[in-house]
A and B are shown apart, each in its own frame.
Chain A
Amino acid sequence: MSLRIVVCVKYVPDATGDRHFAEDLTVDRDDVDGLLSELDEYAVEQALQIKEAADDEAEITVLTVGPEDAKDALRKALSMGADKAVHVEDDDLHGTDVMGTSLVLAKAIEKTGYDLVIAGMASTDGTMGVLPAILSERLGVPQVTLLSEVSVADGVVKGRRDGDTASEQLEASLPAVVSVTDQSGEARYPSFKGIMAAKKKPVESLDLDDLDIDADEVGLEGAWTKVDSAAERPARTAGTIVKDEGEGGKQLAEFLAGQKFI
């Protein structure tokens, strides 16, 4: 039996661009270039390594919920080596929050069929880091999350989770939901061959009807949270900058003393 891996990837506005909000207080996705979230590249990488360790007895599907442009994220993952892609796209999804997105992802994962779901540690725009746990809850399978090391053998996933107070070794039977951190190992760059091959790989498009989800369960109207205001943080008032001419440390101490830190 071949291992069915679904990797959840998100298309996000470039963090180094000038990110802001649209008038309806959703993330503006038009004015800033988008890309495959860097933190999801680690998820794709671990999927590829698990497949390699299984002597290719695995099939990797990359899945995204997002606008038309989100296909770019899928293409990137396919060019890294994933086998096929699923894109959930629907006008009614605009403004969907994590509760709605997780519902859509869970249904799409079930429809695709899976033994292992792999996600990133957090999206680089929303940075909630909760979606993998929510998927585990919705799918009713174990969560093995925030792993800096992961391996799969004989229907069991193992990994290391470096937490606040301890480092833990975890173990669960498949099917399971995994998320990996940026400590799990550098993601590979797509090769030229990979980029060419990706153009021929299948990308399936699904909408809400295909997943039996009502429009009012998702979108801005259906959202479980409401943003009332978004204000740009006032620019910090320009600080004092001195050039060290041999007394820089002392001048800094003087400043800190003035602020009552010493």
Chain B
Amino acid sequence: MAEVLVYVDHVDGAVRKPTLELLTLARRVGVPVAVALGPGAEATAATLAEHGAVKVLTADAPEFADYLVVPKVDALQAAYDAVSPAAVLVPSSAEGKEIAARLAVRIESGIITDAIDLESGDEGPVATQSVFAAAFTTKSRISKGTPVITVKPNSAPVEAAPAAGAVEALSVSFSAQATGTKVTARTPRESTGRPELTEAAIVVSGGRGVNGAENFGIIEALADSLGAAVGASRAAVDAGWYPHSNQVGQTGKSVSPQLYIASGISGAIQHRAGMQTSKTIVAINKDAEAPIFDLVDYGVVGDLFEVVPQLTDEVKSRKG
């Protein structure tokens, strides 16, 4: 089978979960060759090998951290030239999509973004996408060049599939564009100790109904009782009650957890765009007519200040 390039999203050598999911999908369409860049690149190899990477191409240089996006495109292109893969797969983060898109222009290929599934087909990989705020599901493929596809988190299970994972140094010569956009300062996001929003199995979100930053504590308490991530609607974020990094929806994060619990959220189309593919959806809203109830598996019409704390207590006592 032909080789497939998999771009690795990692933080100082710790591989993020969407990349492991990507390896599961990559094995359906070919033999995964991973590309890991920046500090800690070599440290990713053991994990990647466990999940099916036959080879791990690594490169580190100050350019990767000091300049935006383009140095990574140069490196991915070097890997592409070295391997001549049948497809290039990249995690669908904001940066991942930009890297993939620039590579696609350079290698004269079509690009599909935000796939939620991938199968092999007679004419190359077939990508499933969820469009129009998840109202439609499409199947597409690339008709020119080597398929470049970005895949959303939670699109496939993480599977063990031991392979060699041999580390090979990738030699990269940076393009004239590589140093065009300088990163003059970087403030890492503070860890909350909760699961990553896009990776979490359960997401508990609050909206305008939460009515104040001080009240988000009851949303967090429910999330913590379930080991969940915390999300927020744009109304709650715009009001300054919760950070934008936790916003769920069209202009925030798109999540697809096993369970999504919406409290005090009406269910506007732009919010739905980011959560409608969740497996099980639960809502608490005092308005029986709220559109969110059209999506739910279970809904409680009631005051979230009564229902949520009671639920939290019940979860805690059941978990013992």
Answer whether residue A242 sits at the interface, using C-beta atoms and an 8 A cutoff.
Answer: yes
Residues in B neighbouring A122, C-beta threshold 8 A: 251
Are A16 and B269 closer than 8 Å at their CB atoms?
Answer: yes
CB pair A229 B138 closer than 8 Å: yes
B197 → chain A closest CB, angstroms: 10
The residue from A99, A130, A165 contacting B113, defined by CB atoms under 8 A apart? A130
Q: Is B307 interfacial (CB 8 A cutoff)?
A: yes
* B211 interfacial contact with A, CB 8 Å: no
Chain A 171-199: CB-based contact to B (< 8 A → 1; otherwise 0): 11100100001110000000000000000
Contact of B135 with A225 in the complex, beta carbons under 8 Å: no
The answer on a CB contact under 8 Å between B296 and A182 is no
Tell me if A257 is interfacial: C-beta within 8 Å of chain B: yes
User: Does A255 contact B282, Cβ atoms closer than 8 Å?
Assistant: yes
> Which residues of A have CB within 8 Å of B142?
224-226
- Residues A168 and B310 in contact, CB atoms below 8 Å apart: no
Instruction: Determine if A141 is an interface residue (Cβ-Cβ < 8 Å).
Output: yes
Within the complex, the shortest CB–CB distance from A3 to chain B, in Å, comes to: 19
Distance from A141 Cβ to chain B, minimum over Cβ atoms (Å): 7
Asked if A223 and B184 make an inter-chain contact with CB atoms under 8 angstroms apart, the answer reads no
Tell which of B73, B181, B187, B302 touches A244, judged by Cβ atoms closer than 8 Å.
Answer: B302
B114 contacts across to A, CB distance below 8 A: 127-128
CB <8 Å contact, A144 and B181:
yes
B137 at the binding interface (Cβ < 8 Å) = yes
Contacts of A229 in B (CB 8 A): 138-139
Give B113 Cβ to nearest chain A Cβ, in Å. 5
Interface string of A223-240 (1 = CB under 8 A from B): 111111111110010011
A229→B69 CA distance, assembly (Å)? 33
User: Which of A128, A131, A137, A163 gathers the greatest number of chain B CB atoms within 10 Å?
Assistant: A137
Contact of B303 among A19, A124, A239, A244 (CB under 8 A): A244
Contacts of B134 in A (CB 8 A): 233
B168 part of interface (Cβ distance < 8 Å): no
B177-195 to A contact mask, C-beta < 8 Å, 1/0: 1001111111111000000
Which residues of chain B come closer than 8 Å to A35, judged between CB atoms?
Answer: none
- CB–CB A164/B95 < 8 A: yes
Given A143-B68, A240-B297, A253-B311, does the pair A233, B130 have CB atoms closer than 8 Å?
A: yes
What CA separation (Å) do A247 and B156 show in the bound complex?
A: 37
Chain A residues in 8 Å Cβ range of B318: 253, 257, 262
Which residues of chain A have C-beta atoms less than 8 A from B314's C-beta?
249-250, 252-253
Which of the listed residues A143, A165, A249, A261 has the most CB atoms from chain B within 10 Å of its own CB?
A249
In this assembly, does A4 line the interface, its C-beta being within 8 Å of a C-beta of chain B? Answer: no
Assembly CA distance A122 to B280 (angstroms): 28
B1 at the A interface (CB under 8 A): no
Q: Are A169 and B183 in contact (CB under 8 A)?
A: yes
When the two chains form their complex, are residues A172 and B141 in contact, meaning their CB atoms are under 8 A apart?
no
Q: How far is the CB of A176 from chain B (nearest CB, A)?
A: 8
Range of interface residues on B (Cβ < 8 Å): 35 or more
Set B97, B136, B181, B182: member contacting A128, Cβ < 8 A: B97
Query: Across the interface, which residues of A come within 8 angstroms of B306, CB to CB?
Result: 244, 246, 248-249
Distance in Å: Cβ of B179 to nearest Cβ of chain A: 9
* B109 CB contacts on chain A under 8 angstroms: 224
Give the one of A165, A232, A255, A259 with max B CB within 10 A.
A165
In the assembled complex, which residues on chain A have CB atoms less than 8 Å from the CB atom of B100?
A: 130
* Interface contact B177-A252, CB-CB below 8 Å: no
Q: For A233, give its contact among B136, B177, B298, B309 (CB under 8 Å).
A: B136
Alpha-carbon distance A30/B288, docked complex (angstroms): 34
Are A228 and B298 touching (Cβ within 8 A)?
A: no
- Chain A residues closer than 8 Å to B187, beta-carbon distance: 166-168
A174 to B101, CA, bound (A): 22
Query: Which chain B residues border A240 with CB–CB below 8 Å?
Result: 297-299
Convert B130-152 into 0s and 1s, putting 1 for each residue whose CB lies closer than 8 angstroms to a CB of A: 11111111111111110000000
Q: Report A-chain residues with C-beta under 8 Å of the C-beta of B137.
A: 230-231, 233
B136 lies within 8 A of A231 (CB) = yes
Given contacts A168-B183, A227-B140, A233-B135, 13 further A-B contacts (CB under 8 A): A19-B132, A137-B177, A142-B177, A144-B181, A167-B189, A168-B185, A183-B244, A224-B145, A225-B140, A225-B141, A227-B139, A230-B138, A261-B280
22 A-B residue pairings within 8 Å (CB atoms): A127-B131, A130-B97, A130-B101, A136-B102, A137-B106, A146-B94, A148-B244, A167-B189, A168-B183, A170-B182, A176-B181, A224-B109, A224-B145, A225-B140, A225-B141, A233-B137, A242-B301, A243-B302, A244-B302, A244-B307, A246-B306, A252-B282
Residues in chain A within 8 A of chain B (CB atoms): 15-16, 19-21, 25, 39, 97-99, 102, 121-122, 124-125, 127-131, 133-134, 136-138, 140-146, 148, 158, 161-173, 176, 181-183, 223-233, 236, 239-244, 246-253, 255-257, 259, 261-262
Binding site for A on B (CB under 8 A): 11, 68-70, 73, 93-95, 97-98, 100-102, 104-106, 109-114, 126, 130-145, 177, 180-189, 202, 226, 244-245, 250-251, 258-259, 269-270, 273, 276, 280-282, 284, 288, 293-303, 306-315, 318-319
Counting from the closest, the 3 A-B pairs by CB-CB distance are A249-B310, A244-B302, A224-B110
